[in-house]
């Protein structure tokens, strides 16, 4: 494929940089801008070396020329606190916003579950839930597409080194947003999310446990089949998404034990929790890009927000 859709990354930190490295390999996305707020930050310098335009004036530094530069997709890898403002600004200039923060002002997108729907809805802002959500919601859905799940619960254990200051300052946002995604995307009647931070050295690879309670006796064969299929689906964008044990069936409880290793692009391999966010964000952007390239979707500034 020759044509690519131009993209901007807001936030040159760990997530933004890992995303940049992944996006450079994409067949349909071409990163052209990296935006930060700290002049000479390592993330901005690296992006500049890779040939991107950069600004340390935040999104405002890119706005005057972003349309001219052809930016149609933006990724926000900053924080929930500034996301809404960033989104409003780039939407007003006709770019779709892929939200990697927990702000969740747009619909949730978990690529292996509802990417088609999210893209078909032509939403100008989609949210990637949380790292724990990306790692577990596909498997809640894998059970709930077989039979009714009254309750879905996930436990995400991440290494201390991979839990950044943003997550730590607002850990409640993780539990709330993930629980909400377990319900609305995973299809569980009630959702519950737990996160545990473990400081062991060497750092542990992200672990995720998914517990579902089914309304009726679980159809074991159908669930095993559905879970395997879903894992293969997620592995298309996160190759280190691995079933450790299960599904375990105990009465109406179905438990699945996962490990998520990253690709080790910029972030270390143990930080599967961060990798699955950047991989899911990029996968989402690629689907949008394919729609745009096929002429099925033209991102447009929402009239109400045009300033």
Partner 1 sequence: MMNLAGKKVTVHDMCLRDGMHPKQHQITVDEMVTVARAMDDAGVPLIEVTHGDGLGGKSVNYGFPAASDEEYLTAVCKEVTNTRVSALLLPGIGTVDHLQMAVDCGISTIRVATHCTEADVSEQHINMAAQLNGLDTVGFLMMAHMIEADELVEQLLLMESYGANCVYITDSAGYMLPDDVTARVELARRELKQETELGFHGHHNLAMGVANSVAAVASGANRIDGSMAGLGAGAGNTPLEVFIAVCDRMGIETGVDTFKAMDIAEDLIVPMMDNIVRVDRDALTLGYAGVYSSFLLFAKRSAEKYNLSSRDILVELGRRRTVGGQEDMIEDLALDMAREAGTI
Enumerate the active-site residues.
131
Contacts of 211 (CB under 8 A, 6+ apart): 152, 153, 154, 155, 253, 254, 255
Cite the DSSP H helix spans in the chain. Answer: 14-24, 42-49, 63-66, 80-92, 111-120, 131-144, 165-169, 171-184, 220-235, 272-293
Among 108, 151, 270, 297, binds partner 1 (CB under 8 A): 151
Q: Which CB atom, from 14 or from 284, has the smaller least distance to partner 1? A: 14
CB 240 within 8 A of CB 269: yes
Which stretch, 75-83, 174-182, 234-242, 260-268, contacts partner 1 (CB under 8 A)? 174-182
Q: Which tokens belong to 269?
A: 């391999």
Phi, psi of 210 (to 5 degrees): -120, 120
In angstroms, what CA-CA distances link 31 with 72, 132, 225, 249, 299? 10, 26, 38, 45, 17
Q: Min. distance of Cβ 110 from partner 1 in angstroms?
A: 21
Candidate list 63, 105, 107, 257; residue touching partner 1; CB under 8 A: 257
Smallest gap from Cβ 53 to partner 1, in A, equals 35
Query: In whole angstroms, how close is the CB of 156 to partner 1 at the nearest point?
Result: 9
Is 228 or 236 the residue whose CB approaches partner 1 more closely?
Answer: 228
Number of residues located near partner 1, criterion CB under 8 A: 34
Whole-number minimum distance, CB 196 to partner 1, in Å? 4
Residue 207 phi, psi dihedral angles, 5° rounding: -115, 145
State which residue, 165 or 295, has the beta carbon closest to partner 1: 165
Q: Taking CB under 8 A as the rule, which mask of x and - marks residues 56-95 in contact with partner 1?
A: ----------------------------------------
Asked if 293 and 286 touch (Cβ cutoff 8 Å), the reply is no
Pick the closest to residue 279 from 145, 142, 115 (CA basis): 115
Interacting residue with partner 1 among 4, 6, 88, 253 (CB under 8 A): 253
Q: How far apart are the first and last CA of the chain?
A: 36
8 Å CB contact between 247 and 255: yes
Whether the CB-CB separation of 3 and 69 falls below 8 Å is answered with: no
Residue keyed to tokens 């004036």: 57
Task: Decide: is 157 part of the binding site for partner 1 (CB under 8 A).
Answer: yes
Range 193-252, binding partner 1 (CB under 8 A): 194-200, 207, 209, 211, 213, 244-246, 248
- For residue 24, the minimal CB distance to partner 1 (Å) is 33
- Footprint on this chain of partner 1 (rule: CB under 8 A): 151, 153, 155, 157, 160, 163, 165, 168-172, 174-176, 192, 194-200, 207, 209, 211, 213, 244-246, 248, 253, 255, 257
């Amino acid at each position: 494929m020759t044509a690519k859709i131009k993209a901007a990354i807001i936030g040159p930190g760990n997530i933004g940089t890992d995303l940049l490295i992944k996006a450079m390999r994409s067949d349909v996305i071409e990163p052209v801008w990296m935006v930060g707020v700290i002049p000479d930050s390592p993330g901005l310098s690296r992006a500049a070396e890779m040939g991107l335009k950069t600004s340390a004036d935040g999104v405002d530094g890119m706005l005057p020329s972003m349309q001219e530069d052809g930016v149609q997709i933006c990724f926000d890898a900053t924080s929930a606190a500034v996301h809404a403002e960033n989104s409003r600004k780039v939407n007003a200039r006709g770019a779709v916003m892929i939200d990697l923060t927990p702000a969740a002002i747009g619909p949730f997108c978990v690529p292996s579950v509802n990417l088609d729907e999210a893209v078909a809805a032509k939403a100008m802002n989609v949210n990637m839930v949380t790292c724990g959500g990306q790692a577990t919601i596909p498997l809640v859905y894998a059970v709930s597409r077989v039979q009714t799940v009254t309750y879905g619960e996930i436990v995400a254990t991440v290494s201390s080194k991979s839990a950044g200051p943003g997550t730590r300052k607002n850990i409640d946002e993780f539990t709330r947003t993930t629980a909400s995604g377990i319900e609305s995307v995973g299809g569980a009647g009630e959702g519950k999310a737990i996160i545990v931070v473990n400081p062991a050295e060497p750092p542990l690879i992200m672990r995720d446990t998914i517990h579902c309670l089914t309304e009726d006796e679980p159809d074991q064969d159908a669930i095993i089949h559905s879970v395997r299929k879903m894992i293969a689906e997620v592995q298309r964008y996160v190759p280190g998404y691995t079933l450790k044990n299960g599904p375990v069936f105990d009465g109406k409880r179905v438990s699945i034990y996962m490990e998520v290793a990253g690709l080790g692009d910029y972030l270390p391999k143990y930080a599967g929790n961060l990798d699955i966010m950047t991989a899911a964000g990029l996968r989402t952007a690629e689907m949008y890009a394919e729609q745009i390239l096929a002429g099925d979707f033209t991102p447009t500034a929402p009239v109400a927000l045009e300033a």
